[in-house]
């Protein structure tokens, strides 16, 4: 009868190589695994893309 629509949202997980701090953010065009991204908010080390994944939600 009623079907629920699933939407998948892509996320990128960045991890600091120095202190291990992790941050999840929405995927941006051009993201790729093991790329160095930004300075860490915690220790000013360099963060690297650790994982790219999708999460499904029902609408």
Tens of pLDDT along 7-45?
999 999 999 999 999 999 999 999 999 999 999 999 999
Residue numbers of the domain that contains 52: 6-58
Query: What value does the mean pLDDT take over residues 35-56?
Result: 95
3-state SS class at 49: strand
pLDDT computed for residue 57 by the predictor: 87
CATH code of the domain in which 15 resides: 3.30.1330.30
Residue 30 inside a domain? The answer is yes
Q: What is the per-residue pLDDT for 1?
A: 56
C-alpha to C-alpha distance for 34 and 29, rounded to whole angstroms: 15
Residue 5 contacts residue 33 (beta carbons within 8 Å):
no
- Please say if the pLDDT value at position 2 is more than 70: no
pLDDT in the model for residue 52: 98
Question: Is 46 among the domain residues?
Answer: yes
């Amino acid at each position: 009868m009623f079907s629920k629509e699933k939407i998948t949202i892509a996320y990128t997980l960045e991890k600091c190589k120095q202190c291990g701090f992790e941050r999840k953010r929405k995927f941006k065009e051009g993201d790729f695994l093991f790329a160095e991204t930004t300075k860490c908010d915690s220790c000013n080390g360099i963060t690297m893309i650790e994982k790219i994944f999708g999460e499904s939600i029902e609408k």
